[in-house]
Structure 1
């Protein structure tokens, strides 16, 4: 039986209209590097500083620490502008799915490649929070771990925060291949791809998974989440 459900944020539980993809692309190409759609998608679910460094390097640039930090600032500024123009919203059915899982005694957590200064205001804008009266049991940002996805550390940190000790009782869901790889690397018992991001079913199914579903709204319907 699942004790903890760990979800990605952008594209999985939050509809942000492609803003992260475009802001990350802008942060890379504004250095003079080139970036392909395939490479950009590969790095979408990772820590955004790591993504900028990798994509600049792939695109022919030299991503020293100063450049990466400067371009992370470019990413943040562009993302904030895009969010102001088209505010993010919960993915359809996400609120209900989170509430239903918690009503069954399953703890819920969000993990993200964003740092605190991006993730926490975004969640606040949706009215999502942890603690008394909140709809989440934990949030883990890229700031809290030594390495982001596909490393398993954010998932393990979510387990630590929620008191779950058996990784086989953890469900991980995300819309990118690196989300699925992180769940698998963590040893999660259930690894779910959701089709609300930019990847097709065929693309997601190439990654390690136990299920691929249309949306996070379908997660409470998985047999592993139902208590006898």
Structure 2
């Protein structure tokens, strides 16, 4: 579905597609919240407390943002933030290791279809590299795309900064103009990073954390039920 007030996009001209992972191509299934609970416990936040509820609300609202940035906001000083982040990454990795993760239905096939049509696909995340690699390994996706990026790969700033999108643009050299880039994600932070990067197409997908109102407020040009709708959109069928 196209945002009614969005400017027309030249979908046929898209050469680089930057896709988020958890919630967009990977079915997270609540693992972020479960891993956050472990991180909060590490910092002495009692489950069921008002503080825990407040923190969880912030985590939900900022899905898509670099996790270390989230913990800096929640816990203040750098040492506590890093302790929380380490606990989070370990807990999330443990959940992935026991098989509690799966692709969004049709996501792999969508990536392969986009690549088969001559477009370059990059996978990005707000997780640390160790967690991103654990997810890619668990799904058998280590060789699925030519480039994967986490915040540390783009100078340390994650979403909603445009850095990972621009890093993908610079590294792949797949496009001549940022307007030939499509950015797709399940959060307003994904959308905002694409808008700030100047991407020609910025789509929110309904398979993850945020919904249509948040996507539109962030400036999405399109909203899709799933990433699987992207090839048809780029083909001009919608």
TM-score normalised over the length of structure 1: 0.87
| 2:105 partner SS | coil
| 1:143 partner SS | helix
Residue 13 in structure 1 maps to residue 25 in structure 2: yes
Cross-structure match for 1:184 = 195
* Counterparts in 2 of 1:202 and 1:37: CA distance versus 1, 3 Å: farther
Gaps (5+ residues) in structure 2? 1-12, 46-50
* Counterparts in 2 of 1:181 and 1:25: CA distance versus 1, 3 Å: farther
Cross-structure match for 1:92 = 105
* Counterparts in 2 of 1:30 and 1:187: CA distance versus 1, 3 Å: same
* Counterparts in 2 of 1:137 and 1:203: CA distance versus 1, 3 Å: same
Cross-structure match for 2:3 = none
CA distance in 1, matches of 2:124, 2:164: 6
1:109 is aligned, of 122, 127, 130, to 122
Residue 196 in structure 1 maps to residue 215 in structure 2: no
Deviation for aligned residue 1:136: 0.8
Cross-structure match for 1:141 = 150
1:26-61: CA deviation from partner (whole Å, max 9, x where unpaired):
4246533442554222222111111111133xxxxx
- Given that 1:173 and 1:180 are in contact with CA atoms closer than 8 Å, whether structure 2 keeps it comes out as yes
Residue 160 in structure 1 maps to residue 170 in structure 2: yes
Cross-structure match for 1:49 = 68
- Given that 1:42 and 1:177 are in contact with CA atoms closer than 8 Å, whether structure 2 keeps it comes out as no
Cross-structure match for 1:59 = none
| 2:134 partner SS | helix
Cross-structure match for 1:119 = 132
Gaps (5+ residues) in structure 1? 57-62
Deviation for aligned residue 1:84: 3.6
Deviation for aligned residue 1:215: 0.4
CA distance in 2, matches of 1:29, 1:43: 20
1:24 is aligned, of 27, 36, 42, to 36
Deviation for aligned residue 1:208: 1.1
Which sits farther off after the overlay, 148-157 or 19-28? 19-28
CA distance in 1, matches of 2:117, 2:94: 38
Which sits farther off after the overlay, 11-20 or 202-211? 202-211
| 1:206 partner SS | helix
CA distance in 2, matches of 1:121, 1:70: 20
CA distance in 1, matches of 2:55, 2:134: 30
Deviation for aligned residue 1:198: 2.6
- Given that 1:27 and 1:52 are in contact with CA atoms closer than 8 Å, whether structure 2 keeps it comes out as no
Residue 221 in structure 1 maps to residue 227 in structure 2: no
